[in-house]
Structures are given as C-alpha cells and as structure tokens.
A and B are shown apart, each in its own frame.
Chain A
Amino acid sequence: MTGQTRGSARPNQWLRNLNAKIASIPMILTALVIFVGGTSWTVLYSFTNSKLLPRLSFVGLDQYVRLWAAPRWLISIENLAIYGFFSLIFSLVIGFVLAALMDQKIRFENTFRTIMLYPFALSFIVTGLVWQWLLNPQYGIQSIVRSLGWTNFNFDPLYNSDIVIYGILIAALWQGTGLVMCLMLAGLRGIDEDIWKAARVDGIPMWKTYVLVIIPMMRGVFITTLVIIASGIVKVYDLVVAQTSGGPGIASEVPAKYVYDYMFQAQNLGQGFAASTMMLVTVAIIIVPWAYLEFGGGRKRA
C-alpha cells in the first residue's frame, strides 16, 4: 500500500511522509538511544573494572571469569533455566487446555474468564507476598493438611533450598496462565467454524483436530504469547524479591537480582554489567532465530 498512498511526484526522499517520520521520532529515539545505545554502553563497560563509578579501564574478560566462578551466579542461571523451562511449558499447555475448555460454548464463560484473569492484574510483589503467606509452613497449606491428620505432610517449598524455585513457579503460574488462556481463547475464536465442521465431517477426533489443524492455524497467537511469556521470564525479579528475597541462603537467586544487587548495592558495577551482558546473550540466543523468521525472511505482513 505504500506505493500508492504517498504522492510520488515529490523530489526529496527525506521530505516524503514527513509527518509520519516526525511521529516516529520517539520510537526511533527509544530504539536507537535506549535499546541500541544503552545496551552497547553496558556491553562496553562490562569489559572494564568499574567499581563505584563507571570507568573506561579495560580488563578484558576478567569480569566474566569472576562471574562464572561465582556460585551465586551459577545458581541464578540454573534457577532461571528451571523456572523458564517449566513456566513456558506449563503456561502454554495449561493456557491452551483452559482456552479449549472455555471454547466449548459453556455457560458462565465470563465468570470463569474473570476469575482466571484477575491475578494478572496484580503485581508480582502482591502475588509473591500472597503465596509467601500460603506457603508459610507454620500457618499455610502445610499446617492445614497436618491438622487434618497427615502429621508428616511436608509442603514448605519456600524454606527448602532444593525446591524453592518451584514455589516461585507456582506463584508465577497463578499470576500468568490467565492471560495465556485469554490470548489462546481469542485465537480459537478467530478460527472459522467451517474448519470444525469439515473436521467433523471427515471424522477426525477432536484432539487430533486441535493438534493437526487448529494449533498450526494459530501460529500468530502462539508467537505473540511466546513473546510475552519469554520476555517476562528473563526479567523475573520482583516475584523472587517478594517471595524469598533470594533465600533460603542463595537458593532462589535469579540473574536479574544478581545484576541489581551488584550494580546498586555491592557498588561493583563491572560485575553487574558483565552479568547483565550474559542475560542479554541468553536472550539473543533465543530470539535471533525468531527475529530472523519474523522480520528477516521478507515475509509479507498485514
């Protein structure tokens, strides 16, 4: 549509579509100054020995060597991997199954949807504190089940370093699956009724229709959802701060918290920059293939 909508007789390339360009200045500035500029700056300074203030005295890969020797960083990475893997799988599966259930022309659909989506409106701090309370072994779920007779029942994920990250995962899923369900439901509603009819005429079982026909048709929705979930995973910070503050010990540390603590509390900027650069690298490994497919392949878009 670009070709026809602008006056093609204007001589100067730069003045064409001037208003659109002016309107896009905030976007261009954000993209270049903050996203590209800020990121490059941090990467550059991650090779320095900046302590309290950023200084350009390069020390090569020293910060990275120290980073990967730090037990706290290794635990953070491991936690993020576990948390990320399970929250991706669970939110997609649970979200889709719930959406499929909601799509069965059920009654009280609005009520169910409201109930499932409301946690999404709450902050991670609120979510973390509620679940900290529910998972409190002295008052919460564990004590209830024990008082019912199972006196050996143990459910104290937030106080057990081996499983603390799953305690955080429970809260995260409670907060986020509603949104995934909603997105999936919107996707399901966007699919033509005739597809279902055709599948039924051909005698294809329902689950097979979902897996072979509907899910592939919902590619766009899945991508949007993945984008939303994945970018949330890497940034996970508030939830951990509210639920465990990284404890017990350092068992529930995550990279985002490592970065914050080194930058603003331990006054060790170089370490913080190196750690955040590693987060960036992780993200890049995941999204470069996706970005290539989405933007690089010259795919025709709406």
Chain B
Amino acid sequence: MLKLVANNSIVSEYEAVPGRITSGPQGPKPRRILSRRNIVVYGTLIVVALYYLLPLYVMIMTSLKGMPEIRIGNIFAPPVEITFEPWVKAWAQACTGLNCDGLSRGFWNSVRITVPSVIISIAVASVNGYALANWRFKGADLFFAILIIGAFIPYQVMIYPIVIVLREMGIYGTLTGLIMVHTIFGMPILTLLFRNYFAGLPEELFKAARVDGAGFWTIYFKIMLPMSLPIFVVAMILQVTGIWNDFLFGVVFTRPEYYPMTVQLNNIVNSVQGVKEYNVNMAATLLTGLVPLTIYFISGRLFVRGIAAGAVKG
C-alpha cells in the first residue's frame, strides 16, 4: 500500500498541471491517502455524518435511562443503568386523551391504513404512468399537467371539500376514507415516477410487442411489470414512509379511536398534564420511527437506485 502511495504521488502532481494530462500515463487518476483533498472530503463527510447521527444517538440513550438519571445527567451521556421500562410504558401504558393503552393501538391503526393505501395507490399510479408514457391520447398531457400542478396546491385548500365528499359517501372518520385520501394524494408523485420510468424503457420493446399483437394490458403485465421492479420498490418505500409518517390527514379524517401512530405520539409527548417523562417520550418516538427506518435500512440500496431512475429524467 505504502509503495503504491509513493509512486502515485508523482503521477498525481504531474496531472495537476493543467494542459499536460494528454501526454501523461493512461488509466484512472491515482490518489494518495492523506492528501489535502482526502482530508477535506472525508473530514467534511465525517462531521456531517455525526450531525445526522446525533439525534438518533440521543434518542436511544434517553429512552434507556430512568427519569432521575435524565434530570441530573446530560443528554449525550450513555445510561448508567439501562432500563427498558420506558419502552414498555410507551408501547402499552402511555396515555393519549382518554385511553391509556400506549402506542400499540396507533401502531395497528397505522398498519391498517398503510397496507391498503400503498397497494391501491401503486396499482393505480403504475397503470396510469404506463398509459401516459406509452399510450398517449389527446388531452392526457393536460390532465397530467393538472395533476402535477395539483401536487403543489397546499393540502389545506382541498381538505374541507374532501371532508364533505367523504361525509356524503358515509365514510368520513373511517379508515376507508383515510385510505382513499392517501391514494388520491399519492397520485401525482407516483404517476410522475412511473411515467418517467416507463418512458425511459427502450421503445423497441413496446413496438415489438405491438407488432406481435399484444394489447394494453398484455404489454403492461408481460413486459412492463417484469422490467420495473426497481421503480416499484421506490414507489413502495415512498408510499410506506409517506403514509406511515402522515399526521395531517390522520388528524383531519379519522376519529380518535382510529388515530394513526404519529397522531398518538404527538398527543403523548405534547400533552400538557402531568410530569414530562422524556425517556418514555423518546421511546415512543423511536417506536413510531421504527417501521419506516426498518424499511429504509432493508431496502436502502434499491431505494437510492430507484430514486435515481425516477428523478434524473425530470
């Protein structure tokens, strides 16, 4: 390793002279390990990484302490005596409003909201995006434009009319209503993602299938679907995290017994009565973040790859 470094230093200094690279040796530019450039790059990245990690660290530490320890110690100190009681309390006993059964109820509500919303919104948006990319019809671009511009409209402008529509349909305050709302508001970004992805697939594939006599659905199921695993994963991650993390719709469109986890969490932490139990609060916060975090860590690579596929061709 050392020898390599020594050799390369000459080369890289040589390359640093502008205009002379053409006569230099071939191959990728070699680098020294402790060059100024490396110190700057890695130094910055490490500092930045610490900034991003700090809150997670503090959350975990706080959630494992007892209240006396929190009152005397600082938030960065690791717990002297590790206790899991805050976690138990946050899950099963913490009070939100009238109920004192912890976050467990909110967790199951969130599951019941997220699973159908994700499946329905992705199914609808993928077919939509496919139609927009490969089967353009007159006026389609107009609706698409309205949809994308609609994504900018603050939710607050549309909330009340939706309340009325759901009330008329008799599903205001229920999980069904909330699932519908999530599907509707997932539409713009998902359709955009799928449209861009399908438009990026080689056109010859589509044409060849057409020549072979395949129709709209055949091409979708036999050609497009099998080729689009990455974008489906992205859409899934976006939707699962988005819907799981939603707060506003949960508050507006459901009754307290159906509150999703985020709403319950906010009620627990920001309740005015009683002593603030910071350790329970942080355990509750971690519990709420656990599902999206798990999904993110499991599928992180695919997530990044898919985002790239969806975003670069704007």
Contact surface of A with B, Cβ cutoff 8 Å: 1-2, 4-6, 13, 16-17, 19-21, 23-24, 26-28, 30-39, 41-43, 45, 54, 98, 101-102, 104, 106, 110-126, 129-134, 139-140, 143-144, 147, 174, 178-179, 182-183, 185-187, 189-190, 200-201, 203, 219-221, 223-225, 227, 230-231, 234-235, 237-238, 241-242, 245, 255-256, 259-260, 263-264, 269, 272-273, 275-277, 279-280, 283, 286-287, 291, 295, 301-302
Contacts and interface: CB of A to CB of B under 8 A. Distances in A.
A242 B247 CA distance: 10
Given A106-B45, A130-B58, A5 B134 contact: yes
* A-B residue pairs, 3 tightest by C-beta: A123-B245, A203-B18, A186-B308
A201 B41 CA distance: 23
26 contacts: A16-B137, A17-B137, A21-B131, A23-B128, A39-B158, A42-B158, A98-B48, A104-B41, A106-B45, A121-B241, A121-B289, A122-B289, A123-B245, A123-B288, A129-B269, A130-B55, A143-B74, A144-B76, A200-B21, A225-B311, A234-B154, A235-B156, A256-B155, A269-B160, A272-B160, A283-B153
B119 interface: no
B6 interface: no
B90 to A, nearest CB: 12
Given A123-B245, A201-B21, A295-B145, A279 B52 contact: no
B293 A221 contact: no
Contacts of A26: 124, 128, 187
Question: Dominant SS at the B interface?
Answer: helix
A230 B153 CA distance: 11
A235 B131 contact: no
A112 B49 contact: yes
Contact of B207 (A5, A20, A280, A295): A5
B7 interface: no
A123 B304 CA distance: 19
A144 B55 contact: no
B160 A54 contact: yes
Interface in B134-151: 134-138, 140-141, 143-147, 149-151
Given A42-B158, A231-B152, A126 B265 contact: yes
Contacts of A264: 252
Interface string B37-72: 100011011001101111110110010000000100
Contact of B156 (A45, A182, A224, A256): A256
Given A1-B203, A241-B266, A283 B147 contact: no
B258 interface: no
Contacts, number: 310
A276 B154 contact: yes
Nearest to A116: B52
B311 A283 contact: no
A140 B41 CA distance: 29
A226 B25 CA distance: 42
A113 to B, nearest CB: 7
Interface residues of B, number: 105
Contacts of B251: 260
Nearest to A269: B160
A115 B147 contact: no
Nearest to A238: B247
Contact of B146 (A35, A112, A130, A234): A35
B131 A20 contact: yes
Given A32-B146, A125-B288, A139-B74, 7 more contacts: A2-B136, A19-B135, A39-B153, A110-B301, A131-B55, A260-B251, A287-B149
B58 A133 contact: yes
Given A23-B128, A174-B51, A283-B154, A126 B288 contact: yes
A121 B143 contact: no
A129 B160 CA distance: 28
B140 A186 contact: no
B19 A112 contact: no
